[in-house]
Amino acid sequence: MAELFLGIDLGTSGARAIVLDRTGQVVGTGKSALSDHVGGPRSPATWWAATQHAMRAALAEVASQDVVALAVDGTSGTMVPIDAAGVPLSEGLMYNDACTDAGLLDRITAASPATTAARGATSGLARAVQLLATAPERIIHQADWISGQFSRRWVSDENNALKTGYDPVSGHWPDWISDVIDPEVLPDVVAPGTVVGQVGRNDFGLSPDCKVVAGTTDGCASFLATGAKQPGDGVSALGSTLTIKLLSEEPIFAPQFGIYSHKILGLWLAGGASNTGGQALLVDFSPEQIAGLSELIDPETETGLSYYPLARAGERFPINDPDLAPVMGPRPDTDSLHLQAMFEGIAAIEALAYRRLAELGAPVLRSVRSVGGGAANPVWTRIRERHLSVAMPEPLSGEAAYGTALLARSAL
């Protein structure tokens, strides 16, 4: 019998499913938009409908009974209240649903250490407290609930639980959390990649013996999908902003830079996000202009300009200054040189970000894999390569579901 591994990614806009064989080869894929189903993006029924649709499409390409393990990732900090049978008692609160209860946020801040990821308006813990009004048996994370549809166990993982206040260093819910919420309503937590149950009877043609494996967040799954796996391996996401993640043997917690560490497969994934990135480029150029002007740039020759591209004032990482002004001048005579200087400026910020992580205790950068729209620009990539001075291998995949399938494979 072939051994296959199923990864399910529940992202912001939809669900994706990928099936891998033992070698990591993709043998089945499927996807489904949340908007294709009734209920809206906060509805657990919509999450499950999209998951089922994506799964059936992926499993149609393989012998589904050969799937020996599956895992689920979800959006970080998305919470849902359930009763003892796992039935949702309301819609979920999403990762980007900000808490506006200043008193609650102050209570979390007063009770918690500065290094916790549970502080701030987008705290998963704040959302959990807000959901207590539904009188649930338990409040769990999005990925926990989808995974529980297979295992009938409502177990979380250390990555999804981080923003809810879980302490991955000590490996338990901290004592201070009882000052904010009854710990009994929070889920049990295990390490990502831990077998938590079996599928049992199901409607997907899966073997009842198929293992259900504790998953992770969509961000951590995207990191795993790239193939980065050694301390010093970094992943840069070049989207509207610049997000940096680096594997480390030790955790890094620097809340002043928005840096927290997820524990993953025996290592720590430290990350930070800069406000530079694609949004800053779009201040002066359209995507079509960026593509055309890039062809006129010589990436081997520096402009000599020192830009700090930002769409608006304010920076988080690698400089923490809410008033930091953008620097996108003096503007040269040609648009191509202006764009090149912006590319160089973002590359310099990226290099500084990895050096900042090293200063905080992370390992020295040894490689960078690139994801996001900016990674497809070969001129920008070459400029970044010169600034970073490390190997820049191609990622194995840009799909979070691929990383979650790898996590399922790691369990066996």
Cα angle, residue 196 at apex, residues 39 and 92 outer, rounded to 5°: 20
Beta partners for 269?
A: 247, 262
pLDDT of residue 239: 92
pTM: predicted TM-score of the whole model, two decimal places: 0.93
What pLDDT score was predicted for residue 109? Answer: 97
In tens, the pLDDT along 248-279 reads 999 999 999 999 999 999 999 999 999 999 99
Q: What is the pLDDT of residue 52?
A: 97
pLDDT number for residue 368: 98
Three-state SS letters, 265-292: CCEEEEEEEECCCHHHHCCCCCHHHHHH
**Banded pLDDT at 12 (limits 50, 70, 90):** confident
Q: Name the nearest CA neighbour of 396 among 16, 18, 1.
A: 18
165-201 pLDDT, tens digit each: 999 999 999 999 999 999 999 999 999 999 999 998 8
The confidence score (pLDDT) of residue 201 equals 86
pLDDT for residue 206? 97
The share of the chain scoring above pLDDT 90, in percent, equals 96
Q: What does the mean pLDDT of the chain come to?
A: 96
pLDDT tens digits for range 222-258 = 999 999 999 999 999 999 999 999 999 999 999 999 9
Q: What's the sign of the alpha-carbon dihedral 116, 117, 121, 123? A: negative
How many beta carbons lie within 10 A of that of residue 358, not counting itself?
16
Residue-wise pLDDT tens digits, 89-113:
999 999 989 999 999 999 999 999 9
| Greater pLDDT, 201 or 340 | 340
